[in-house]
Structure formats: C-alpha cells, structure tokens
C-alpha cells in the first residue's frame, strides 16, 4: 500500500474554514446578481456572514470609516496594504482609492488560500482594475516592488495589518530603502492596542536620539533603520467586536542629524 506524501507543517496563519465558508455563503446568496459590481454590497454581505455565522478578522466599519476619511483627504495614487486576509479592507479602501482619483491598491498577503478568497471577492466587487493582490512575505514583496520592479518611488500611504511583530522590521526595511518621504508619506498601523505592537509604537514615538539607543540595543540584521527620520504619531482608539483597539497614524515630518 502506498503511503500518502507528508503534508506540509501547519502554518499559524492557515485558514480554519470560515474564510472559504464565507466565499460559499456570498456566492450562494439569492441577491448575487445585485451584489456583483457593487463594493458596498459585497462588504455588506461579508458583514452579514460575520454577524450571523462566524466572526472574521476584518478592519470593521468604525476603523474602516476612519481610514477611508484619510484616503479622501490625502488622495494617494497608490496605497499599500500588508496583510490582506479575505479582502475586506482591499475592497473598502480600493473603492475609496478609485473614488478619490487614485490608480492602485496593492494588497500583500502571505497565505495563498486567503489571497485566493480575497481575489474572488475583489473581482465580485468590480475592483479588479484597481486592486492587485500579491502573494508573498511582506518584506520580500516590498523589496521586489521597490528594488527590482521599480514600481514604487516613495510610499504615499501604507496600511500595516499583518503580524504585529513584523511592523517594526518592515518599517525599518522601508526606511533603509529610502522610500519614506517627509511631508508625503503616511503610515497606518492597525491593532496596536490589541494584540498590540509595543516595539513599533516605541520607535514611531521616539526622538532621533532615542532611536539611536534602540538600534544599539537591537539585532537589526541586514536592515538599515534610519534614526534621522522625525515621526509624529497619534493612536486613535476604537471599540470593536473584539474589544478596545487602536490605529497608529504616523506622519514623517522631517529629518534631524543624529
């Protein structure tokens, strides 16, 4: 009897079934034709599933509205997302990008199954021309987009919503690649209260002198943090389905010799 090939080790970001179940639920709805091509109706269908069947780790209505307001004010041409999950934020913010004259929403998602779910929902929402979902690790995809493909000259608006322990290394990566521009780049980081991103918050609240000390005490590996960038960061707090949480909004205001 032949044995089955060994399965790959379980990944901590693997689907637990609800994400694919969501896809079946949405495409089995009797109003599918009315939903197609309407981002707001696709989002409402995802919210229906979240409220009636199984909670999903989406950005949610309150934080979502806060960020769409930022998009409307800044009107970025390109917005980057780290951590796409099932595509809720890609649909919400991609639609906002399009409405405000932007060109592209780049959603980087490591799990190919989640990316597949997100792609189907983005396509259903009629946002294929704006939203691009890229499968891969955040650091590898960012380096590819910036260094190899030369698609990004500077970061206009980035939304970090992947694993909180990657927030700071990915920020250091962007600093080292010199794509954060004072007065032009804005950083958004979700879930900085729950589950929390203390190292990221310490960095964006630190003075250039304090950053030098952080670097001296840290194992930065091949990364090249830029202590001279001056950040102005505010955490806005929200009540969510999972408890009190916050989004850190960080402007790059200038540089300072250290």
pLDDT tens figures, 100-133: 999 999 999 999 999 999 999 999 999 999 999 9
Per-chain mean pLDDT for the chain: 93
Burial-class residue 79 by CB neighbours within 10 Å (0-12, 13-18, 19+): buried
- Domain assignment present for residue 5? The answer is no
- Domain assignment present for residue 166? The answer is yes
- Domain assignment present for residue 100? The answer is yes
**Residue 141: which pLDDT band, with cuts at 50, 70 and 90?**
very high
- Domain assignment present for residue 28? The answer is yes
Q: Are 133 and 122 in contact (CB under 8 A)?
A: yes
Total of domains in the chain: 1
Report d(CA 213, CA 215) in Å as an integer.
5
What's the confidence (pLDDT) of residue 15?
Answer: 65
- Domain assignment present for residue 33? The answer is yes
What's the confidence (pLDDT) of residue 242?
Answer: 85
What's the confidence (pLDDT) of residue 218?
Answer: 96
Residue 114: CATH number of its domain: 3.40.50.150
Indicate if the pLDDT at residue 14 is higher than 60. no
Nearest to 26 by CA among 10, 14, 38: 38
- Domain assignment present for residue 13? The answer is no
Nearest to 173 by CA among 149, 138, 205, 198: 138
- Domain assignment present for residue 39? The answer is yes
Nearest to 194 by CA among 246, 148, 152, 142: 246
- Domain assignment present for residue 123? The answer is yes
pTM higher than 0.75 = yes
**Residue 241: which pLDDT band, with cuts at 50, 70 and 90?**
confident
Q: Which residue has the tokens 């939203």?
A: 131
8, 171, 198 from 166: Cα distances, Å: 23, 8, 11
Q: Which domain holds residue 128?
A: 18-255
Rounded to 10 degrees, what is the CA torsion of 79, 83, 88, 91?
A: 20
CA 16 from chain centre, in angstroms, equals 20
């Amino acid at each position: 009897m032949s044995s089955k090939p060994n399965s790959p080790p379980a990944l901590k970001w693997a689907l637990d079934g609800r994400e694919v179940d969501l896809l079946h639920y949405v495409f089995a709805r009797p109003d599918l034709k009315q939903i197609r091509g309407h981002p707001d109706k696709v989002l409402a269908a995802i919210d229906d599933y979240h409220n009636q069947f199984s909670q999903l780790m989406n950005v949610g209505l309150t934080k979502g509205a806060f960020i769409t307001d930022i998009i409307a004010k800044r009107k970025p041409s390109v917005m980057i997302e780290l951590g796409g999950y099932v595509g809720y934020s890609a649909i919400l913010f991609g639609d906002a990008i399009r409405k405000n004259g932007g060109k592209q929403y780049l959603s980087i998602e490591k799990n190919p199954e989640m990316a597949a779910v997100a792609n189907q929902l983005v396509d259903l929402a009629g946002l294929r021309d704006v939203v691009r979902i890229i499968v891969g690790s955040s650091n590898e995809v960012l380096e590819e987009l910036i260094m190899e493909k030369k698609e990004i000259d500077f970061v206009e608006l980035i939304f970090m919503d992947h694993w909180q322990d990657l927030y700071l290394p990915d920020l250091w990566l962007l600093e080292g690649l010199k794509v954060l521009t004072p007065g032009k780049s804005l950083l958004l980081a979700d879930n900085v209260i729950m589950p929390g991103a203390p190292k990221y918050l310490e960095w964006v609240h630190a003075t250039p002198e304090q950053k030098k000390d952080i670097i001296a005490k840290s194992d930065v590996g091949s990364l090249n943090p830029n202590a001279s960038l001056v950040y102005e960061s505010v955490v806005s707090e929200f009540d969510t389905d999972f408890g009190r949480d916050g989004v850190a909004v960080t402007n790059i205001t200038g540089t300072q010799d250290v």
